[in-house]
Structure 1
Amino acid sequence: MLIISNYHYIRDDFSARYPSVFGLTPAQFRKQLEELSRHGEFISLEKLLEFQHRPLDRNYILISFDDGLKEQYELAKPILDEMGVPAAFFINTSNFKEKIVSLVHKIHLLRSEISSHEILSELQKKGTAPLSEKEKTLAITHYNYDEAETALLKYLLNFKMVLPEQQAFIDPLFEQIFDEHQVNSALYMDKEMLQALHGQGYLGSHSHRHLPLGQVDPEVLQEELKNTQDFFRSNFGKPSAAISYPYGSFEASTGISEAIEKAEFSLGFTMERAANKDLQEDSLLLSRFDCNDLPGGKNDLFKGQHIFKNPELRKWHKNESSIPHKR
């Protein structure tokens, strides 16, 4: 069986005028790794690829990071190296090729300076369509670590509004407060860090621009996959074998397996909170837990029990209508 723990922010200090992100301190990260080591064996991406066509031979744990943040390399990787724990780091290639800040991170930064209530009010003034009751429920379920108002804002921006609408609203606000070039340099890893991670077999794609791939037009999806794989070929000599789907929701991750496979990815990672019995049935819709869902996190779903003792198993892949990668 395979259980995957996913991380974003690793910081010594998360204080802000309006707290906008949830992560772990290095001490908390180390403590969680120590706890997880008592449940299973840590596995690398390269080793995981070997189990596409044969059963998993023991209980494995994969440590993964999304977004290619510099703090992951500077604060988390030394702990991983010291403890001998392999990991997967998924990057948005536009941050490195075009030196831009992902829209999702612009939103995080703005929310640290402006309250969710104020931003929602501005959206209402501009006539943005409100969320339905069903969408409100989905928002609170998906962003379960946020306060309700923040969850609604994030869902409205990330899933309800189309990309041009988001950019037209967020970019002017961002430019009033931040310098994009400075933020890009401070927030994301540099070329040497990427090369080091690739040399260890730790690097994967998080798409090109951090779009919800399952919800964009087919032409945009193809462009996203081509651009991210072109970056990997140009910089590392070969395409990425693994992709982590931005946002990771059911809607953002499913219905695209054929395109993902055509783009030469062998492994795909969602944010379905569940364990993976194997990779043989489907290797492109692997489930992951947020680190806060696991022992040592803010909301341990396992309540102190062994994580491999009767865990919830992934189901999203059973809904996929076109999955040529199933064996």
Structure 2
Amino acid sequence: MDDTHFAPPSSLRSYARTSALSMALGSGVSHWLAHRHPVRRILMLHGVGDARMTPDDFLRVMSWLKQRYNIVPLDAMIHDVMARRPAPFGSGKSELAITFDDGLRNQYKIARPVLEQLGIPAMIFVCPGMVESKQWMWNHEARARLRRLSAGALAEWAAAAGCEASNLETTIAWMKTLSFPQRQQAQSTLREHTPGFVPTPQEHEAYDPMTWDEVRACDQGQLSIGSHTMTHPILPTLTEAEIQRELHDSRSMLELQLGRAVDLFCYPNGSTDERVRSIARSLYRAAVTTEEGTVSEAVDPMAIPRIPVTSHLPLLAWRMHRPWA
């Protein structure tokens, strides 16, 4: 009897995919495919410093990008896009912009020094309401509290909250579908089920927002600040008045603190609808989404796609050609 242990099909597929991506990177195929078309690219990052993007990973990824792309400020790229200027292409000429969502302190402490060292421009989209209150974004707090619950406690909370989700990420996804009052109620119930919650040092590093001094420091030199709403709500779940307030007040508070116009916006969670885009169009020059794609000359300025960053260079190299990979 043959007792050889075979890897499950999913593991084999993952290994084959990883091997193929590594070969594409090593052979130069990824690089060639990415630079043969005249498109611009905007990269999307969030937190920096955890296992998914360690400080060493971040330095390595940014150094790799700088060697292969012409990294430009997002403001300059959008200006050229809206002026219908053709995108440069070719190795070292293809334009790339770097963006960060959420205005986290780790972006100031870890990402900023690397970007300044390498001379790489970037934009950080900030929620000024969270800076002002010094509170975490609601989804970060919910994740941290949900991790404290045992399986039994999670089931008890889910029943109390009316949630049918079975794990952390599906629970967060469910909370994103709720109206604002419903989400507030679910959060309140979650807090009641985690009365002894105290953030760990690692959670503080991952989720703490910047201070105003740090935000202002990130609006100098190579870096700049954009608007990300006041409190990072899921905008389509709000009333039109609430959407207007989130977008208008965010811009106003940032302009007051920075002493300049702030006319670039990022939709929290990438969530948008016709009402949201209409209000955004009345207040901002352009807005980026979480939709995966490259930036063509025909792009809607209020729905500009981006490419999610990964620390795995073979996959990142392939995403520059196939953003949805």
Give the alignment's TM-score, normalised by structure 1.
0.74
Contact 2:287/2:301 (8 A) holds in 1: yes
Counterpart CA distance in 2 for 1:6 and 1:114 is: 31
Letter in 2 for 1:5: L
1:169 aligned residue: 189
- Which of 283, 287, 298 is the matching residue for 1:268? 287
Does residue 47 of the first structure (1) align with residue 60 of the second (2)?
no
Contact 2:178/2:237 (8 A) holds in 1: no
How far off its partner does 1:71 sit?
Answer: 0.9
How far off its partner does 1:281 sit?
Answer: 3.8
Structure 1 or 2, whichever has the larger Rg, is: 2
Contact 2:136/2:207 (8 A) holds in 1: no
How far off its partner does 1:32 sit?
Answer: 1.4
Counterpart CA distance in 2 for 1:185 and 1:306 is: 25
Counterpart CA distance in 2 for 1:57 and 1:232 is: 31
**Unmatched tracts of structure 2, length 5 or more:** 1-38, 89-93
Aligned in 2, Cα 1:26/1:218: closer, same or farther, shift over 3 Å?
same
Counterpart CA distance in 2 for 1:5 and 1:230 is: 26
1:233 aligned residue: 255
2:301 aligned residue: 283
Does residue 158 of the first structure (1) align with residue 193 of the second (2)?
no
Contact 2:308/2:323 (8 A) holds in 1: no
In terms of fraction of residues, the more helix-rich structure is 2
Does residue 26 of the first structure (1) align with residue 55 of the second (2)?
yes
For these two proteins, the number of residue pairs brought into alignment is 274
Does residue 10 of the first structure (1) align with residue 48 of the second (2)?
yes
Aligned in 2, Cα 1:185/1:129: closer, same or farther, shift over 3 Å?
closer
Counterpart CA distance in 1 for 2:224 and 2:217 is: 9
Query: What RMSD over aligned residues (CA atoms) do the two structures have, in Å?
Result: 3.0
Percent identical across equivalent pairs?
18
1:213 aligned residue: 235
Counterpart CA distance in 2 for 1:9 and 1:306 is: 19
Contact 1:101/1:183 (8 A) holds in 2: no
Aligned in 2, Cα 1:184/1:237: closer, same or farther, shift over 3 Å?
farther
1:130 aligned residue: 164
2:125 aligned residue: 90
Does residue 187 of the first structure (1) align with residue 208 of the second (2)?
yes
Matches within 5 A, 1:65-144: 65-114=100-149, 117=151, 120-126=154-160, 128-130=162-164
How far off its partner does 1:30 sit?
Answer: 1.5
Contact 2:106/2:205 (8 A) holds in 1: no
Contact 1:95/1:184 (8 A) holds in 2: no
C-alpha distance after superposition, 1:207-239 (max 9, x if no partner) = 111011133211110111122122123212344
- Which of 258, 272, 286 is the matching residue for 1:253? 272
SS of 1:202 mapped into structure 2: strand
